[in-house]
Amino acid sequence: MHSAGYKYPGARGETRSVIEFGYRLSDIMERIIIQLVERQRWDVLKAYLACSFEHQQNVMINVRKLVQSRNITAFTDVISGSEARNDESLKMFFAFFSQTEDPAPMDTE
């Protein structure tokens, strides 16, 4: 998806336009997922979780990295809340975010 663009006159006087830059759809989806949690839109989040697609695991891993790097407390607040305990799909979703990745051992030889 492109973020913006601008018009400029072409060599023959015609109007031309350029897209300045774009965002990957996966980046947009990651931010939407974070906003769903922050705004407690459980109905939409559950609908998203009910769908599966080829790169869904990659999106989830990237969301977890964003949540951890930006210290987004909405995720930890919900993990301890009742909504996550009462719905199975939300329980699995937030369990994924409470997991920590163990660092890979380095080869010292």
Check residue 44 and give its pLDDT.
Answer: 93
38 Cα distance to chain centroid = 12
Average pLDDT, stretch 5-20? 81
Does residue 59 sit within a domain? yes
Q: Determine the structural domain holding residue 32 and report its residue range.
A: 19-98
Residue 14 reports pLDDT greater than 80: yes
Kindly give the interhelix angle for 88-98 and 56-70, rounded to the nearest 10 degrees: 60
pLDDT digits (tens, 9 = 90+) for 38-81: 998 999 999 999 988 888 889 999 999 998 888 888 887 776 66
List helix spans (H) across the chain.
Answer: 25-38, 42-50, 56-70, 73-79, 82-86, 88-98
DSSP class per residue in 2-24: B--EEEEE-TTS-EEEEE--B--
89 in a structural domain:
yes
Domain membership of residue 4 (yes or no) is: no
pTM: 0.70
Q: Where does the pLDDT of residue 89 fall: very low under 50, low under 70, confident under 90, or very high at 90 and above?
A: confident
Does some domain include residue 6? no
